[in-house]
Amino acid sequence: MLPISIRPVLAPALHERERSMPEPLLTVRDFSVVYDVDPPVEAVKNVTLELQRGEILGLAGESGCGKTTLAYGVQRLLRAPAVITGGSVTFHDASGVDVDINSLDTEEMRRFRWDKISMVFQGAMNALNPVATIGAQLEDVFEVHRPDLSRRERRAASAELLEIVAVGRERMRSYPHELSGGMRQRVMIAMALALRPQLMVMDEPTTALDVLVQREILRQISQLRHEFGFSVIFITHDLPLLLEISDRIAVMREGEIVELATARELWERPRHDYTKTLLASFPRLTGERGILVR
Ligand SMILES: Nc1ncnc2c1ncn2[C@@H]1O[C@H](COP(=O)(O)OP(=O)(O)OP(=O)(O)O)[C@@H](O)[C@H]1O
């Protein structure tokens, strides 16, 4: 049985998935990345996976197993000494066109990344400009990427985004220091949402926040992906949190995906010994009665 406290977020996700036919958004085949140092590090080894449209896929595994390299690699965000040594990444655009990400040149990739994929990092809230208002920073995104919008439209779109992430349009004139950490992280999520991407990559997006604020933000991410239909690749060390938010979880170890299953399957019937070890290493998952304790 699923731990009681992971049901509320998970249940609608499962329900939704049962209703709709899966439709791939990203197909990763035999993808490998090596850090060309001495000795070379094979950070990602022959990873194959398919991310569905609207799905939240969690990447789990201990530090150094290759989660970040994989998530950045599929967006071609890696820098030397990282080298993609093999494999393909295909983005199945909502327009019906399949895009081979490896074939895009730098400029095409840059535009693609903003329009189709966005990222939210750990501590992203500290990346806000301290001397510009929240509204001005949101409006900037539209000014750069949607130059056809009028000033009034940019402002309206920014205010709407602040409503969507439950910060509220009245915060348009606030400066970052006037907002709590959780609110600032929501502003970053609003920015990531601004261009209505089809994929959001979230790298430890709530780690710096306290547990209650984390849960609220996770719940909201889950709701928003239903509303807007984007997919999420969610990276964190925190397996209990992944069980709570993910539809499926890929467990990585030493650059390979050793198990890929729904959150429910992984929780109820972990197959790989490493997954079992990982689950057992979170005392709050096992607790006295064997339920999630938090
Ligand atoms: N710039 C680099 N040069 C050499 N090796 C690197 C570099 N960046 C990462 N690595 C190595 O690649 C492997 C995978 O690292 P990666 O950061 O992808 O793992 P991770 O699972 O995301 O870890 P964490 O959760 O700590 O961020 C590790 O062995 C790491 O030491």
d(CA 60, CA 257) in angstroms, rounded, equals 9
- C-alpha distances in Å from residue 183, one per residue of 158, 179, 187, 193, 259: 15, 6, 6, 15, 35
- Choose which residue among 36, 59, 68, 72 to substitute to test ligand 1 binding: the one with the highest number of ligand atoms within 8 A of its C-beta: 68
- pLDDT exceeds cutoff 80 at 217: yes
In this predicted structure, what is the pLDDT of residue 84?
95
In this predicted structure, what is the pLDDT of residue 286?
53
Task: Report the separation in Å between the CA atom of 99 and the middle of ligand 1, taken as the mean of its atom positions.
Answer: 27
**118 in any annotated domain:** yes
In the chain, how many domains are there?
A: 1
Average confidence (pLDDT) over 164-171: 93
| Minimum CA distance residue for ligand 1 atom 12 | 43
- Give DSSP secondary structure letters for the chain: ---GGGHHHHHHHHHHHHHS---EEEEEEEEEEEE-SSS-EEEEEEEEEEEETT-EEEEE--TTSSHHHHHHHTTT---TTEEEEEEEEEEE-TTS-EEEGGG--HHHHHHHHHHHEEEEETTGGGGS-TTS-HHHHHHHHHHHH-TTS-HHHHHHHHHHHHHHTTS-GGGGG--GGGS-HHHHHHHHHHHHHTT--SEEEEESTTTTS-HHHHHHHHHHHHHHHHHH--EEEEE-S-HHHHHHH-SEEEEEETTEEEEEEEHHHHHH---SHHHHHHHHT-HHHHTTTSS---
Residue-wise burial string across 49-60, b where 16 or more C-beta atoms lie within 10 A, e elsewhere: bbbbbbbbbbbb
In this predicted structure, what is the pLDDT of residue 294?
29
**86 in any annotated domain:** yes
- pLDDT exceeds cutoff 50 at 3: no
The model's pLDDT over 77-112, given as tens digits with 9 standing for 90+, comes to: 889 999 999 999 999 999 999 999 988 998 888 888
**97 in any annotated domain:** yes
In this predicted structure, what is the pLDDT of residue 55?
94
d(CA 278, CA 151) in angstroms, rounded, equals 50
Cis amide leading into 39 (omega within 30): yes
Task: Report the separation in Å between the CA atom of 45 and the middle of ligand 1, taken as the mean of its atom positions.
Answer: 13
- pLDDT exceeds cutoff 60 at 117: yes
**292 in any annotated domain:** no
In this predicted structure, what is the pLDDT of residue 123?
74
- Amino acid identity at 80: A
In this predicted structure, what is the pLDDT of residue 269?
92
**Residues lining ligand 1, Cβ inside 6 A:** 35, 37, 41, 43, 61, 63-69, 81, 237
In this predicted structure, what is the pLDDT of residue 121?
81
**294 in any annotated domain:** no
Instruction: Spell out the residues 6+ positions from residue 7 whose beta carbon is closer than 8 angstroms to its own.
Output: none
Average pLDDT, the chain: 87
Task: Report the separation in Å between the CA atom of 113 and the middle of ligand 1, taken as the mean of its atom positions.
Answer: 22
Q: Which residues pair with 289 in a beta bridge?
A: none
**291 in any annotated domain:** no
Report residue 225: phi and psi, to 5°: -70, -30
Average confidence (pLDDT) over 224-249: 90
Average confidence (pLDDT) over 219-241: 89
Task: Residue 144: give its domain's CATH number.
Answer: 3.40.50.300
**293 in any annotated domain:** no
d(CA 29, CA 47) in angstroms, rounded, equals 6
Express as a percent the part of the chain with pLDDT over 70: 89
- Choose which residue among 69, 79, 258 to substitute to test ligand 1 binding: the one with the highest number of ligand atoms within 8 A of its C-beta: 69
In this predicted structure, what is the pLDDT of residue 252?
95
Task: Report the separation in Å between the CA atom of 269 and the middle of ligand 1, taken as the mean of its atom positions.
Answer: 29
Question: Residue 26 is part of which domain span?
Answer: 4-286
- pLDDT exceeds cutoff 80 at 15: no
Average confidence (pLDDT) over 206-228: 84
d(CA 140, CA 129) in angstroms, rounded, equals 12
The pair of structure tokens assigned to 198 is 């089809």
**29 in any annotated domain:** yes
In this predicted structure, what is the pLDDT of residue 4?
41
Instruction: Spell out the residues 6+ positions from residue 260 whose beta carbon is closer than 8 angstroms to its own.
Output: 49, 248, 249, 250, 251
Express as a percent the part of the chain with pLDDT over 90: 59
What is the complex's ipTM, to 2 decimals? 0.97
- pLDDT exceeds cutoff 50 at 8: no
d(CA 132, CA 212) in angstroms, rounded, equals 28
Q: Which residues pair with 47 in a beta bridge?
A: 31
Query: Pick from 34, 60, 50, 35: which is nearest to 285 by CA?
Result: 60
Q: How confident is the model at residue 213 (pLDDT cuts 50, 70, 90)?
A: confident
The pTM of the full predicted model, rounded to 2 decimals, is 0.87
Task: Report the separation in Å between the CA atom of 44 and the middle of ligand 1, taken as the mean of its atom positions.
Answer: 10
